[in-house]
Amino acid sequence: MDQTHLPLPPVFDAPPTRAAGLARLAKFLPRAGVTYAARRNEDLPAHPYVSGLSPYIRHRLVTEAEVIAAVRIQHPAGADKFLAEVWWRTYWKGWLELRPQVWADYASGVMAAQNRLAVEGGLRQVWQEACAGATGIDGFDHWARELVQTGYLHNHARMWFASIWIFTLRLPWELGADFFLRHLLDGDAASNTLSWRWVAGLHTAGKTYLATADNIAKNTGGRFRPVGLATVAEGLRYVAPPTPRAAPVGEAWEAGVPTLLVLHEDDLDGSWLLARGLRPVAVAGMTATAGRAPGVVASGVHGFVAGAMADALARQGGGLAFDREGLVALADHAAGLGVAQVVAPYAPVGPVASTLRKLRPMLAERGIALVQALRDHDREAWPHATHGFFRFREAVM
């Protein structure tokens, strides 16, 4: 099929506000049970059978706990398939949190693969064609262009895309994960990295994911039936992951001292901290969007995060926003307010966590403590992410 003229969907309708996320959740709830279970794998125009909540959950404009509670109220039974998908995001975060070296190894792998692009002309051409949606592979080219244009892909399309990238095009998986992370509105260090590793056979020894023409045709309503796909998905060289470290427990703030609350793009909900008695004198925001990848992160991703941050600060009564290049300014702002501590939601492994590590000594130089508070949802679930998802699910669902 000539996909050059195949129409793409309009820009993914995801206004970066909590109100929009809650409205999307309310609209989806009636379909979260048997309808989702039966048709969740279908990648159809406008994605009618999935929630589209991932950009909101990823930044915690709407939280996992809120979604789980709402679904259980609407569907006392029969929604396990959807609930499992929500818990997968928590599992991935917990799994990576217990093994931070895997994220560091991925980052090194991206840089090594980019060095190969600089010297291997053939590899560079295939990579450029894949990113541009110009490989001639039915479906794959559409998804590449859909991702760049909309910032979103159906979960099943992500799996097909990753499988074709790795096993048919024989491209480094790290470059594919990087391509996703630079363009997905819901781009997340844990979910993205570990999902690509799973497809490649690096998460579970001997287990890979093979995209097939029949499965693609079946679940796209016949829109795509690629030819020439790899018929075998031989896993990449498996290396056992590091021994899990202890799960974090978070840090406690000091009551009764002047406090600056800093929200960040991994957790834009401060209400749970206020409910626990935190009384900040001011609120600020911190973003690290450019740190998601060594290359250029898409403008749509920057725009979503900026809009989400503006919404979060407005809901807290206003505040200044700083990016990862403005940490000195953020530390000076905290000092100018005369606070003794900065309290932030705990940031899991990824760019925000790295940025907070840089901020901590800057604050300390000014006599200010940095406190990372951990949500109950994460504290209770992450310790169970020691093995596979199904053992995790038995413990949390």
- In the DSSP assignment, the letter for residue 235 is P
**89-106: average pLDDT:** 98
For the segment 117-135, what is each residue's pLDDT rounded down to a tens digit? 999 999 999 999 999 999 9
Domain boundaries along the sequence of the chain: 18-98+389-396, 102-219, 259-373
Q: In the chain, pLDDT over 70 holds for what percent of residues? A: 97
Report helix, strand or coil for 296. coil
- pLDDT beyond 60 at 8: no
Residue 152, pLDDT score:
97
Q: Hey, what CATH topology would domain 18-98+389-396 get?
A: 1.25.40
Question: What is the architecture, at CATH level 2, of domain 259-373?
Answer: 3-Layer(aba) Sandwich (3.40)
Residue 1, pLDDT score:
44
DSSP string, 328-378: HHHHHHHHHHT-SEEEEEPPPTTHHHHHHHHHHHHHHHTT-EEEEEPPHHH
Confidence grade of residue 9 (pLDDT, cut at 50, 70, 90):
low
- pLDDT beyond 50 at 5: no
- pLDDT beyond 90 at 11: no
> Is the whole model's pTM more than 0.85, yes or no?
yes
CA–CA–CA angle 196, 68, 30 (5° rounding): 100
Residue 4, pLDDT score:
46
Residue 206, pLDDT score:
86
Residue 234: name the closest of 139, 143, 170, 156 by CA: 170
**131-145: average pLDDT:** 98
Residue 25, pLDDT score:
98
For the segment 187-243, what is each residue's pLDDT rounded down to a tens digit? 999 999 999 999 999 998 889 999 999 999 999 999 999 999 999 999 888 889 999
- pLDDT beyond 70 at 166: yes
Strand ranges (E), 48-150: none
For the segment 16-51, what is each residue's pLDDT rounded down to a tens digit? 999 999 999 999 999 999 999 999 999 999 999 999
Name the burial class of residue 250, with classes exposed (0-12), middle (13-18) and buried (19+) by CB atoms within 10 angstroms of its CB.
middle
Strand partners, 283: 261
For the segment 254-288, what is each residue's pLDDT rounded down to a tens digit? 999 999 999 999 999 999 999 999 999 999 999 99
For the segment 49-86, what is each residue's pLDDT rounded down to a tens digit? 999 999 999 999 999 999 999 999 999 999 999 999 99
Q: Hey, what CATH topology would domain 102-219 get?
A: DNA Cyclobutane Dipyrimidine Photolyase, subunit A; domain 3 (1.10.579)
CA distance 164 to 226: 10
For the segment 274-325, what is each residue's pLDDT rounded down to a tens digit? 999 999 999 999 999 999 999 999 999 999 999 999 999 999 999 999 999 9
Report helix, strand or coil for 7. coil
Mean per-residue pLDDT over the chain, rounded: 96
CA distance 192 to 201: 14
Residue 13, pLDDT score:
83
